[in-house]
Amino acid sequence: MNNKNYQIGIIGASGYTGSELARILINHPQTDIVAITSESHKGKKFSDLHGQFSGIVDMELVSADQLDVTGLDVLFLALPHGVSMEFVKRWKESGIKIIDLSGDFRLSSPEIYEVWYKKDHTYPEGFDTAVYGMPELHAEAIKKAKLVANPGCYPTASILSLAPLFRSKLGIDPDGAIIDAKSGITGAGIKASNTTHFSNVNDNFKAYGIGSHRHTVEIQEQLSFLVKKSVNLQFTPHLLPVDRGILATSYLKIEKEMSQKKLDAMYLDFYRDKPFVRIRKQAPSIKDVRGSNYADVFPFWDARTNRAIIISAIDNLVKGAAGQAVHNMNLMLGLEESMGLHQVPMQP
Amino acid sequence: MNNKNYQIGIIGASGYTGSELARILINHPQTDIVAITSESHKGKKFSDLHGQFSGIVDMELVSADQLDVTGLDVLFLALPHGVSMEFVKRWKESGIKIIDLSGDFRLSSPEIYEVWYKKDHTYPEGFDTAVYGMPELHAEAIKKAKLVANPGCYPTASILSLAPLFRSKLGIDPDGAIIDAKSGITGAGIKASNTTHFSNVNDNFKAYGIGSHRHTVEIQEQLSFLVKKSVNLQFTPHLLPVDRGILATSYLKIEKEMSQKKLDAMYLDFYRDKPFVRIRKQAPSIKDVRGSNYADVFPFWDARTNRAIIISAIDNLVKGAAGQAVHNMNLMLGLEESMGLHQVPMQP
Amino acid sequence: MNNKNYQIGIIGASGYTGSELARILINHPQTDIVAITSESHKGKKFSDLHGQFSGIVDMELVSADQLDVTGLDVLFLALPHGVSMEFVKRWKESGIKIIDLSGDFRLSSPEIYEVWYKKDHTYPEGFDTAVYGMPELHAEAIKKAKLVANPGCYPTASILSLAPLFRSKLGIDPDGAIIDAKSGITGAGIKASNTTHFSNVNDNFKAYGIGSHRHTVEIQEQLSFLVKKSVNLQFTPHLLPVDRGILATSYLKIEKEMSQKKLDAMYLDFYRDKPFVRIRKQAPSIKDVRGSNYADVFPFWDARTNRAIIISAIDNLVKGAAGQAVHNMNLMLGLEESMGLHQVPMQP
Amino acid sequence: MNNKNYQIGIIGASGYTGSELARILINHPQTDIVAITSESHKGKKFSDLHGQFSGIVDMELVSADQLDVTGLDVLFLALPHGVSMEFVKRWKESGIKIIDLSGDFRLSSPEIYEVWYKKDHTYPEGFDTAVYGMPELHAEAIKKAKLVANPGCYPTASILSLAPLFRSKLGIDPDGAIIDAKSGITGAGIKASNTTHFSNVNDNFKAYGIGSHRHTVEIQEQLSFLVKKSVNLQFTPHLLPVDRGILATSYLKIEKEMSQKKLDAMYLDFYRDKPFVRIRKQAPSIKDVRGSNYADVFPFWDARTNRAIIISAIDNLVKGAAGQAVHNMNLMLGLEESMGLHQVPMQP
C-alpha cells in the first residue's frame, strides 16, 4: 500500500455523474477527493446539492476558474459536452491525467463529432491523444493515456453486447445489427424538464431519438474497428420509468453454423479475465447490476430464425459513467483494476 | 335505441380481464351485466374481489356450473387457456354469442395450438367456426360470427404495426421482421408470483420468453394471411415496471423505394375509418392510450438504414383484451362499433 | 333531456386540471366544450399539449383576452391562484356561472387570504358571493351560486374525513385533530421543477410544508363552521411517488363513549344520499378511487387509545378538482348531480 | 488489524435480510462468510436465489440442521419469528455470539410476546440474556451480550424519533404520541402475495394494521424505559410504492416552553457521537438514506400548535435490519462500531 493517496479533483458537481464519482471515490482506498467544482453552486456545500452526502462530503464547492490544480493527480470532468473540451484544452499542459466523461473526445475525428453533435469542436488536437476508455477493449492504451474519453452509457451496453461477434471471423453482416435499448431517466440528466417530469415518466414508456441518436455513431465506430469494415447499424433508445439502468436487446443474423454452446464459448473467451463483465446463463434484469460496475451479458442463439440475440444490462451511472471512469483511473495509475469498485448490486 | 338492453354474462371474475369488462360494460348504453361467475370466489360480491367497484357492482358471484344461460345474448369468457375451451364446448349449442378472451381458438388449427401451448385441445371442432376478433382486419366475418377468439395483447400491438406493410406489394422479406415488445405487468395476470412481486418489477426491466413466446405464432399466422406467404419472424417480449400498456418497436427492411411520406400515406390509407387506430406524427407513449381502446401507431422511415421502424402503443387490458372484446360484441350485435368505448386515455 | 346542450368554456388548458375537465366533459351528455384558452400555447391544438386527446379534442387554443363569452353557460377557471381572481373580476357582470378551481375565493375573507397566500387580493368583493363548492356540505347554496370556489384537494380529503365528527355533539377538542396527508405528484402541477423530477420522486417519499401549508386554514375554516368554534389543527402533507391520489390519515381523541358501531353509524348517516362518498368497511387504497369522483372514507375506532382514526382516499385531480367542479356545475345547472361522473375507478 | 478474520454464519438465505447481510459482510474488512443456510433451497447456490451475487457469492447453501458451527464467531439469524427461537435455543450453549433479526426476543417478557404475536414462546429463558440491539440506547449492554435481539424496522425509525423527548424532563404526555409511519414493500418480505403484487402496490398507497400492529408494543416498551412510565401511544403503518425505506412522522404536544433552537439542541446532544444518526436541518427523504445505515432525523417545532413534529428516515433493510445487525456485531466483537458500514446512500 502507498503511504500517499492520489489527489483527485471532480470538475462539475451538480449532475449525477459528479455525485456518483463522489459515492465511489470516497470509499476508494487510494484516493482523496481534494476539490469539487461548480459554477452555479460555488460557495455551497456538496451535501447541500446532494443531501445523501450530509455528514459524508460537506466540502465547499469552488469555481473551476479558481481551482489551483498543482499537486493533483487526476481530474474527472463531469461536464456537458461542448463545455468539457474547453477544460481539456485549459489543462492540456498540466501533466495531470484527465478522464473526460462527456462525449467530446469519444469519436475518431472532430469532423464526425461536428456532424453528429451539431457543434464546432474547439480543441481538435485533443483527438490525437484521447483514448476511448473501454477497459475491455483498450486496456493497454488506457494505461499509457493522459486523456481518456469515457464511453457513453448506451455505447457501453451496446458494444459489450456485440464486440465478440464483430471481432469473430463469422462473416456477419455489420449493417444487419439492430440494437433496441432501454434506459432509465437518469440518462436524461438531473435537469428538470418535461422529459423528466415524474408524471411523464411514471407508469409510462416511449421511444425517442429514433434513427438519429448520437450514440449510434460511437457504437458504429468501435464495432467497425473490430470488424475492420464500416458499420451502419440500427440503434433505437427508449425511456424506462426507472432511475438507473440500461438494458440493450441486440439482434444479429449469423449465416454460418452456430449453436448456443458455441456462442457461449465465444463470449466466455472474449471476456476471460475481465472482472466486470459477467456472462450470464439467463437474461439479466437491470437490478442485477444496479449501483455496481458490472455489465451482465446474456448471449442467446435462436436456431429457428438464425439470429443471435444478446441481452446486456448495466447501471448507466456506474459502468456507463462513473464506475467505468474509476476503472480507467485505476489503469492509468497502475492500480489493481477493480480497486474501489466492489459494490454489490443493490437488489431490491 | 332499443328498449331492451342486451343481457351479458361474464365468465371468470377474478382476473383483470373480468374487471375490465365490467368497467366498460357497466357504462355501455345497451348492455346489462346479468351474471358474473367465479369458481374460487362464488358467494362473494364482485366488489369484495375488486374494491374499486364498491357500491357500483356489488353483484354476487355464482359458479359457472350453476349458471342458467337462458335469455343471455352474449357470454364473455375471461378464463385461462385450457379452461376456456371446455366452456365453449359446453355452450356450443346454446345459440349465445361467445367472445373468448383466452388463446384457445386464436390459431388456425388444433395441431398448431398443441405445439405452441403444449397442451391437448379438447374441442378441435371449435376452430371451424371461430373468427379471429381483430376488427381492423376481419370486421365482416366478426359480424356473422357465433364464436370470436379475441386476439392476444402482444399480437394486437404487433399485427396493427405491421399489417399495412405485409399487405402492401412492396416485396418485403417476411422473415426479416423483428418485433421488440415491452409490456406492463398486468400481462402476467393477477396471480401473485415471483414474477409479479413488486420488488422484482419496480425500478427493474428484463426480457423473457426469448425466442419461444407463444404469441409469436399468432402474429406470424395473421401476417402470413396478409402477405400470402409463410412468416418466420422474431418476437421478443420484455417486462416493464408499469401496470398497463404495451409498446412494440418493429423493424423491417424495405428494399423498394420508400419515403416518410409514402409510409405515412400507406398507414393512413390502411386504417381509414378504423375508429380506434390513430396514426401519429410522433412516437406515442403508453400513457397516451392508457385506459382506452385506442391503438396509436407511428410509422418511421429511416433512410440511412432502409428500414421502417413502427412504434405502436396499446393498453393491454383494453385494446389488448376487454375493449377489443366489447368492440367485437358491438359488431356481432349490429351496434355502432365504438359504442361504450369512448373513454379518454388517462394521462397522467 | 334538453335538446340544447350547455355551452362550456375552459379557461386554462395547459395544466392537469384543464385536461381532466376536458376528459370528463367530453363524455358529459349535456355539455359542449366550445372554447379552451391558453396564453402560452394559443394557436396550438389542445391535443398538441395533451397527446392523449389526439383525434378526440383537437380544438385550437385561443387567448382568454380574445374570448367572446357571449352565449356561454359555464366557465371553468383552471388557472393559478392570483391569476384567477382577475378573470372572475373581468366576467363578474356577464351572468355566466363561474367555477373557479384556484384558491382565490375559498377562504372566508380577503384578509385571511392575504395572510396565508402572501399576496394581495385584487377582487375582495368576490368573497361576498363566492360559495365554497363542496356539495356534501353546501349543496343548496351551490345550486343558487353564480361563483363557486372549488375546494382544494387536501381540504376535500380532510374535511370529508372529519366533518361528521366536527358536526357531532361529542364535545371533541377541535385543536386536537391531526391530519397526516399524502399526495401524488400531480398535486405539484405540470410544471417541471426539482420537486417533480422523476428521480427525486420515484422510490422516494418525504414530508413538506410542515406546519405552514396553506390548505391548513381552508380545512380549519370549514371545520370551524361545523363545530361552531375556532379550530387550530395540525396538517402535514407528504409527497407520494404516484401520479394521482390523496390518502389522509386523521386522528382525533373522543372522550365520550364511543364504539366502532356508533362511529360507522355516524358516518353512514352523515353521508346518506351523497352519491360520491363511500363509507368503507376496510381501509381504502388510492387506486380504489383513481380516475373517479369517489371519496372513500373509513372510520376506525381504537378503543385502546380512545382515538378515532379516519382514512380517506380521493383522486386529487377528480374529486379533488375537475370532478368536484363538474359536480358543482350539475348542481348549478339543475342537472342530476352525478351526471357525467360515472367513471369506474381504474385499478390496476 | 487482526490477521484472522471473524468467521460468520448467516442462518436463512432466502429473504431480503439474508441478502442484505451478505451485501454488507462481503466487503467488511474483518469478516469471512463461511456458511449460509436455507432449508428450502439447500444445494443451490446463493447466487441462484439472488442473481445480483452472480460471481460474487456463489457459495452452496446448506441445511441449518447439518451446519457444524464449531469455529464460528457470530451467527446471524435471518429467520421468521417463531422459527428463530428454536435456533437460539439450539445454539445457546455453543458460546457463539448470536444476533437474532426476528421479533422473538425484542420484548420484555414471553407473556407480552404471546399477547402481541399470538404464538407460544418455546424458549422463554432467552429473555433473561437477550439485549435489545439498538446501539444508540444500549451500546454498553450490547458489547457484553451473547444474544442480541435486533430491533424491528418501524421501531428503529420510531424510537430514534422520540427517544430524546421521552428521556427529557419536559413532562410530556407519553400517551399523546402519534406515529404515522410509511414503509416500502420490502417490509412485507420476499414472499409473493396479494399484498406484494406489483399492481396492488404501484401507483398506490394504503394504511394497514391500524391500531393493532405488533411493532406498537416494541416501541412502547423502549420509550417507557426512557420516560419511566407506561406508554400507550398510537402507531399507524402505511405501505409505500417503493422498495426500501421507512419515513415516520411523529407528533407530540409539549406543554413546557419550547423553541426550534431548544429542540435542535436536545436532539444534537442526544445523538452526539452516534455515527449513524444525522440530525438534519430539513425534512429528509427516504432516498437520502437508501442503501445505507444512516437514520436521518429532523425535529420541527410548530409554535402555532405547540407540537413537536419529528420526521425520521431509514432504510428498513439496513438501519432497520442488516446494517444495524452488523453494527451490533462490531460492538460485540470490540471492533470500531462503523466498520464496514460506510456505504453512501444511493440517490438516485
The model's pLDDT over C177-226, given as tens digits with 9 standing for 90+, comes to: 999 999 999 999 999 999 999 999 999 999 999 999 999 999 999 999 99
> Residue A311: what are its φ and ψ, rounded to 5°?
-105, 130
Min Cα distance B23 → chain C (Å) is 6
Can you tell me the distance from the alpha carbon of D247 to that of D315, in angstroms, rounded to the nearest whole number? Answer: 9
Angle at D337 between CA D335 and CA D342, to 5 degrees: 115
Whole-number pLDDT of residue C241: 98
**3-class SS of residue B318:** helix
Min Cα distance B176 → chain A (Å) is 9
Q: Which residue among C36, C153, C160, C325 is the active-site one?
A: C153
Say what the ipTM of the complex is: 0.97
Mean pLDDT of A238-252: 98
Min Cα distance A333 → chain B (Å) is 35
Q: CB count, 10 Å around CB of D26?
A: 16
Q: Where are the beta strands (DSSP E) in D5-149?
A: 6-11, 31-37, 74-77, 97-100, 131-132, 147-149
Nearest to D211 among C238, C241, C300 (CB): C300
| B153-317 CATH, one of 3.40.630.30, 3.50.50.60, 3.40.50.300, 3.30.360.10 | 3.30.360.10
What sign results for the dihedral spanned by CA atoms D157, D159, D160, D164?
A: positive
- pLDDT band at residue B130 using 50, 70 and 90 as cut-offs: very high
Using a CB-CB distance cutoff of 8 angstroms, which residues of chain C are in contact with residue A197? 190, 192, 196-198
Q: CB count, 10 Å around CB of C315?
A: 31
Q: pLDDT for C239-253, tens place per residue?
A: 999 999 999 999 999
Question: Contact B202/D202, CB-based, under 8 Å?
Answer: yes
Min Cα distance B58 → chain A (Å) is 29
Whole-number pLDDT of residue B255: 87
Question: Contact C291/B288, CB-based, under 8 Å?
Answer: no
- CATH 3.30.360.10 domain range(s) in chain B: 153-317
User: Which H/E stretch holds residue C35?
Assistant: strand C31-37
Min Cα distance B195 → chain D (Å) is 9
Whole-number pLDDT of residue C3: 55
Using a CB-CB distance cutoff of 8 angstroms, which residues of chain C are in contact with residue B291? 291, 346
Whole-number pLDDT of residue B256: 86
Angle at B69 between CA B66 and CA B75, to 5 degrees: 110
Name the neighbours of C, counting chains with at least 3 Cβ pairs within 8 A.
A, B, D
Min Cα distance B284 → chain A (Å) is 7
Using a CB-CB distance cutoff of 8 angstroms, which residues of chain D are in contact with residue A243? 348
Using a CB-CB distance cutoff of 8 angstroms, which residues of chain C are in contact with residue A199? 16, 185-186, 190, 196, 243
Mean pLDDT of chain C: 97
What sign results for the dihedral spanned by CA atoms B309, B310, B315, B317?
A: negative
Q: pLDDT for B285-305, tens place per residue?
A: 999 999 999 999 999 999 999
Contact assessment for residue A204 and residue B286, using Cβ atoms and an 8 Å cutoff: yes
Can you tell me the distance from the alpha carbon of B215 to that of B103, in angstroms, rounded to the nearest whole number? Answer: 9
- Which position has the grid cell 478522464? A99
CA within 13 Å, CB half, A232: 7
The amino acid at A109: S
Question: Contact C348/B289, CB-based, under 8 Å?
Answer: no
Min Cα distance B198 → chain C (Å) is 12
Nearest to C243 among B284, B294, B348 (CB): B348
- Between A and C, how many CB-CB pairs are < 8 A? 56
Nearest to B249 among A180, A245, A283 (CB): A180
Please check whether residue C241 touches D, CB under 8 A: yes
* CATH superfamily placement of domain C153-316: Dihydrodipicolinate Reductase; domain 2 (3.30.360.10)
Q: What b/e readout covers C116-136, taking b as 16+ CB neighbours within 10 angstroms?
A: bbeeebebeebbeebbbbbbb
Question: Contact B288/C186, CB-based, under 8 Å?
Answer: no
CA-based nearest residue to B299, from B251, B235, B246: B251
CA within 13 Å, CB half, D295: 33
Contact assessment for residue B219 and residue B151, using Cβ atoms and an 8 Å cutoff: no
Whole-number pLDDT of residue B336: 98
- pLDDT band at residue D256 using 50, 70 and 90 as cut-offs: confident
Residue D2 has pLDDT above 80, yes or no: no
Q: Which residue among A153, A179, A308, A313 is the active-site one?
A: A153
- Which residues pair with residue D140 across a beta bridge? none
Min Cα distance D52 → chain A (Å) is 4
Provide the grid cell at B51.
374494491
CA-based nearest residue to B208, from B233, B181, B190: B181
Question: Contact D185/B199, CB-based, under 8 Å?
Answer: yes
Q: Which residue among D22, D153, D231, D310 is the active-site one?
A: D153
- pLDDT band at residue A1 using 50, 70 and 90 as cut-offs: very low
CA within 13 Å, CB half, D165: 30
Please check whether residue C201 touches A, CB under 8 A: yes
- pLDDT band at residue B3 using 50, 70 and 90 as cut-offs: low
Mean pLDDT of C77-90: 97
Q: pLDDT for A278-290, tens place per residue?
A: 999 999 999 999 9
- CATH 3.40.50.720 domain range(s) in chain D: 6-129
From residue A183, alpha-carbon distances to A149, B187, B189, D255 in Å are: 21, 21, 25, 53
Mean pLDDT of D202-231: 97
Ordered DSSP codes for D315-335: -TTIIIIIHHHHHHHHHHHT-
Can you tell me the distance from the alpha carbon of A237 to that of A242, in angstroms, rounded to the nearest whole number? Answer: 14
Can you tell me the distance from the alpha carbon of C248 to that of C157, in angstroms, rounded to the nearest whole number? Answer: 6
- Which position has the grid cell 388557472? C79
Can you tell me the distance from the alpha carbon of B147 to that of B130, in angstroms, rounded to the nearest whole number? Answer: 5
User: Which H/E stretch holds residue D235?
Assistant: strand D234-239
DSSP state of A151: P
Q: pLDDT for C294-333, tens place per residue?
A: 999 999 999 999 999 999 999 999 999 999 999 999 999 9
Give D56: exposed, middle or buried? Use CB within 10 Å, 0-12, 13-18, 19+. buried
Contact assessment for residue B294 and residue B116, using Cβ atoms and an 8 Å cutoff: no
- pLDDT band at residue A3 using 50, 70 and 90 as cut-offs: low
Nearest to A27 among D22, D51, D342 (CB): D342
Mean pLDDT of D16-28: 98
Using a CB-CB distance cutoff of 8 angstroms, which residues of chain A are in contact with residue C192? 192-194, 196-197
Using a CB-CB distance cutoff of 8 angstroms, which residues of chain A are in contact with residue D285? 51
Question: Contact B198/D196, CB-based, under 8 Å?
Answer: yes
- Which residues pair with residue D77 across a beta bridge? D11, D100
**3-class SS of residue B191:** coil
**3-class SS of residue C149:** strand
Q: Is A170 left (phi over 0), alpha (psi -120 to 50) or beta?
A: alpha
Contact assessment for residue A344 and residue A27, using Cβ atoms and an 8 Å cutoff: no
Question: Contact C203/D304, CB-based, under 8 Å?
Answer: no
Give C228: exposed, middle or buried? Use CB within 10 Å, 0-12, 13-18, 19+. exposed
Please check whether residue B192 touches D, CB under 8 A: yes
Contact assessment for residue B169 and residue B151, using Cβ atoms and an 8 Å cutoff: no
Can you tell me the distance from the alpha carbon of C298 to that of C264, in angstroms, rounded to the nearest whole number? Answer: 9
Strand order in the sheet with A6-11: A31-37, A6-11, A74-77, A97-100, A147-149, A131-132
Ordered DSSP codes for A262-308: HHHHHHHHHTTT-TTEEE-SS---GGGTTTSS-EEEEEEEETTTTEE
Q: pLDDT for B82-95, tens place per residue?
A: 999 999 999 999 99
- Is domain C6-129 annotated with CATH 3.40.50.720? yes
Using a CB-CB distance cutoff of 8 angstroms, which residues of chain B are in contact with residue A115? none
Question: Contact C199/A243, CB-based, under 8 Å?
Answer: yes
- Between A and D, how many CB-CB pairs are < 8 A? 82
- Between B and C, how many CB-CB pairs are < 8 A? 82
| A98 catalytically annotated | no
Please check whether residue C185 touches A, CB under 8 A: yes
Mean pLDDT of chain A: 97
Please check whether residue B202 touches A, CB under 8 A: yes
- pLDDT band at residue C255 using 50, 70 and 90 as cut-offs: confident
Please check whether residue A51 touches D, CB under 8 A: yes
Mutate to test the interface with D, among C206, C246, C260, C290 (most CBs of D within 10 A): C206
Using a CB-CB distance cutoff of 8 angstroms, which residues of chain C are in contact with residue B203? 202-203
From residue D121, alpha-carbon distances to B123, C103, D30, D300 in Å are: 56, 57, 35, 41
Please check whether residue B251 touches A, CB under 8 A: yes
Nearest to B51 among C244, C288, C291 (CB): C288
Q: Tell me, which fold does domain D153-318 have in CATH? A: Dihydrodipicolinate Reductase; domain 2 (3.30.360)
Can you tell me the distance from the alpha carbon of C244 to that of C321, in angstroms, rounded to the nearest whole number? Answer: 11
Using a CB-CB distance cutoff of 8 angstroms, which residues of chain B are in contact with residue C52? 287-290, 292, 344-347
Q: Tell me, which fold does domain A6-151+319-333 have in CATH? A: Rossmann fold (3.40.50)
Name the neighbours of B, counting chains with at least 3 Cβ pairs within 8 A.
A, C, D
- Which position has the grid cell 343548496? C140
Question: Do the strands C147-149 and C131-132 form a parallel or antiparallel pair, or are they unpaired?
Answer: parallel
- In A, minimum Cα distance to B198 occurs at A348
Question: Contact A242/B204, CB-based, under 8 Å?
Answer: yes
Q: What percent of chain B has pLDDT over 90?
A: 98
Whole-number pLDDT of residue B1: 43
Contact assessment for residue C237 and residue C185, using Cβ atoms and an 8 Å cutoff: no
Can you tell me the distance from the alpha carbon of B287 to that of B289, in angstroms, rounded to the nearest whole number? Answer: 5
Can you tell me the distance from the alpha carbon of B240 to that of B246, in angstroms, rounded to the nearest whole number? Answer: 9
Mean pLDDT of B219-234: 97
Min Cα distance A314 → chain B (Å) is 11
Strand order in the sheet with B178-183: B206-207, B234-239, B178-183, B246-253, B307-314, B295-302, B277-279
Mean pLDDT of A243-266: 96
- pLDDT band at residue C1 using 50, 70 and 90 as cut-offs: very low
Q: Where are the beta strands (DSSP E) in chain B?
A: 6-11, 31-37, 74-77, 97-100, 131-132, 147-149, 178-183, 206-207, 234-239, 246-253, 277-279, 295-302, 307-314
Contact assessment for residue C126 and residue C92, using Cβ atoms and an 8 Å cutoff: yes
Using a CB-CB distance cutoff of 8 angstroms, which residues of chain B are in contact with residue D187? none
- CATH 3.30.360.10 domain range(s) in chain D: 153-318
Provide the grid cell at A13.
458537481
